[in-house]
Structure 1
Amino acid sequence: MIAVMAIMIPVAVWVSATMWSSQLELSEKQNAERVSVTAVLDADALSDSSGWGETVKISSAPATWGWGDETRHALVQVDSLATAGSEVQVWVEASTGEYTQPPLTTSAAKFTAVLFGVWLWTFSAAAAAGLFALTHWRLEVRRSREWSRDIEAFLGSTSSH
């Protein structure tokens, strides 16, 4: 079990490093393909009025923004307290001006890579511990059966008494 855990350290580091570079490439690509524009909300944010006071949540609202000579419309994510006429920053595709999600940040990309490496090592350690426990249990069952047979052979058959 300890050997598996030790072997998995460099494997987890390698997987994490590989994921680190791929996530950073994805972040750079998304940052190059997406731009932030100012949009104006056409209506108040759709809110959940649960009666428990005003808490800011993520909600959606229809918004309009200019893209070249065209006007674009989409349902965008905003704070639940946003009102019609408010200006908000939205992310759009640089080539088409269509609404999209914000690009992956470099810190989120790095965090994802490190978290996945830690998860991989933890999962492999748990699997090794589970395999160790299963093997230990099976050996104990076998040992117990052998003891029972040996004691029965030593004492003789219990039905002959």
Structure 2
Amino acid sequence: MRPGTGDPHPRLALANPAAGRLIERPFPYGPTRWTELWLACVMALFGACLLAGGDTFALPSYRVIKAFASEDATGAAAAVVAAARLAALWHDGRIRAAPLVRVAGCAGGFLFYTALAVGFALAAPPFPTGLIYGALAAAELHASSRAARDAVLSDSLGVRRRRRNREQPAA
């Protein structure tokens, strides 16, 4: 408990309570979830391009990725994960805040974009394609940190609630 305040949760800005409240409030919908929304849309479009037909994996830059998964499997995985993320973002914004689901979606997106970046980088040239997907992976990391912050502030795991219940005397 913070001395003299009765507040069991230490604030980030102790000297200025107003600043502390601003720092500790959840991010507004737009800046946090729009990044996740666009990253999910990029993933959906990537999956749709692979599923649309043609022999995309015949290109030399896809040879490393092709060694691990077929074009149809990669496209289907991208489309399914993107659809799940879009549904989770809709659920989080319209029905109930679910930042842990957003963290899981960002983790999946990070793994997907990292795999693409590594695959394209190992098949270099063209190396810049790997850099593009590396930048998307970095954006997923940034989005996951914001979703994790929302999860902590909304007490998604119930840690603060359990601590408060433990600290309150039994009635």
TM-score normalized by structure 1? 0.28
Structure with greater helix percent: 2
Looking at CA atoms only, which structure, 1 or 2, has the larger radius of gyration? 1
TM-score normalized by structure 2? 0.27
Structure number with higher relative contact order (C-alpha < 8 Å, ≥ 6 residues apart): 1
Structure with greater strand percent: 1
